[in-house]
Amino acid sequence: MAATISFLALLFLLHGVAGDSQVVKKVCAGTPYPDFCGSTLSTVPQNATGNANKVTYWVLDYTIRIGGEAERLGSTLYLETDLPLAEGTCISVCQRTLAGAVEDLYKAQEKYPDYAAMVTQTRRALAVAKKAHIAWNCESCRKGDSKKKVVDALSEGNDLGKAIAVLAALVNPVQK
């Protein structure tokens, strides 16, 4: 996540423009993690247009990037750690599942700048992931000593899970 925040800070410095905080607050207010959503997006200059669709695009972009981090961590754990066979197999399957789900989100992002198509494709990708019961973490794979590891991209309550919840709220707004 630090790399993601650094990337967002770099964007802020390069463009010298802060996002429209009122738009970010308004759009993020309808999500399950408004503070997480706002802090993730507050420095993205493209939000300055006041366009909620662009906010959705940047949440999708962020989700794909941290999904990629989780996928790489799963691969690293599987390949470079001496895990018991069952746990290693579980993490390997989880990593491949995350990779497929993130790839589906990336395909949605490729629809940019056609926001309607991007949102439709994102909804489909999230629906497929939900139907497949993707947890957006590999916590269930961890047993014994490996369960004691620090919170990371594969842990329950990670930023990927929050980003998915925010993204789902943005592409499937609750009608009032």
DSSP one-letter code for 137 = S
15/39 Cα distance (integer angstroms):
18
- Residue matched to tokens 């669709």: 53
pLDDT exceeds 60 at position 29:
yes
Chain mean pLDDT for the chain: 78
Q: Kindly report, residue by residue over 74-91, the tens digit of the pLDDT.
A: 888 777 777 777 877 888
Residue 23 pLDDT level (bands cut at 50, 70, 90): confident
Phi, then psi, of 110 in degrees rounded to 5? -65, -15
Q: Kindly report, residue by residue over 57-76, the tens digit of the pLDDT.
A: 889 999 999 898 888 888 88
* Residue 51, both tokens: 């366009």
The average pLDDT across 142-161 equals 69
* Between residues 16 and 109, the one the model is more confident about: 109
Q: Kindly report, residue by residue over 100-118, the tens digit of the pLDDT.
A: 999 999 999 999 889 999 9
The average pLDDT across 161-176 equals 85
* Between residues 140 and 163, the one the model is more confident about: 163
C-alpha dist (Å) from residue 121 to 65, 129, 155: 18, 12, 27
